[in-house]
Amino acid sequence: MFKKKKWLKLSLLSLLAVILLAGCGGGKESDKAEEGGGKDKAKDVLAQVKEKDKIVFGVKNDTRLFGLKNPKTGDVEGFDIDIAKALAAEILGDENKVEFKEVTSKTRMALLNNGDIDAIVATMTITEDRKKEVDFTDVYFDAGQSLLVKKGSDIKGIDSLKGKKVLAVKGSTSSINIREKAPEAQVLEFENYSEAFAALKSGQGDALTTDDSILYGMADEDPSYELVGGTFTEEPYGIAVKKGNADFVGELNKALKSLKDSGKYDEIHDKWIKH
């Protein structure tokens, strides 16, 4: 009996030793994996951009004049697109070293912070709240919020929205602003500008609100609609990058300055923005 107990005791001790050794070994491998993963994760976006020799920009596909998919060619075209290409030319030496991924006002922040895109060039207003989540470049376009209505509408500006239905896009500053500026209006939100404009044309609302630059594109598409009341906010657009990437922000700012100094920025602006 004594020998049996002693044998069982030794067996248990041996088993425990094996488990402990395996655990220690696994821990070391795990630590190495974590260290390796940490290094990859810590690699800044500018280093990744230069390593892959390409910049992945998040752009809108539904915003006339800024980022709109051409149904004939399948290409996205607009002011933001040309700015993105010009930035790639400045940073990587070739405007074709870009990849465009579709974003909306609702999805763009998540796609950036998940690493699906390197930067957002998508009519994105710089705000203090957004600065807590992402880093912005210098302003690359100045816009202001306005109203789009059917010609002949009795809506003449922000003061005539009492009891009216105003259409906006989810995740946009416009949706927040209109609730503050016209608290007695009913706000209906849509996923993107195409849906919102289609809703306006089908009579689901009395006015559509967003930045004047975007509304001009809609008015160009259908001249039976017009902007009214001027602008009632300031909407400075910036290029957004994942927080903590000061080097990338600096590189983008340097490129923007070069575009403005060379006249390339004005060339792109005048090509798309004629108002």
pLDDT one-digit tens code per residue, 152-194: 999 999 999 999 999 999 988 999 999 999 999 999 999 999 9
Q: For residues 94 and 100, give the distance between their C-alpha atoms in angstroms, rounded to a whole number.
A: 15
- Choose among 92, 102, 116: nearest CA to 66: 102
Q: What does the pLDDT look like over 215-249, one tens digit per residue?
A: 999 999 999 999 999 999 999 999 999 999 999 99
**Separation in Å, CA 232 to CA 50, 103, 207:** 41, 26, 15
**What are the residues whose beta carbons fall under 8 Å from the beta carbon of 239, sequence distance 6 or more?**
87, 119, 120, 121, 124, 136, 137, 140, 252, 256
Sheet holding 207-211, edge to edge: 186-190, 165-169, 207-211, 145-150, 225-228
- What percent of the chain has pLDDT above 70? 84
Q: pTM of the full predicted structure?
A: 0.78
Q: For residues 163 and 184, give the distance between their C-alpha atoms in angstroms, rounded to a whole number.
A: 6
Tokens of 150: 């059917």
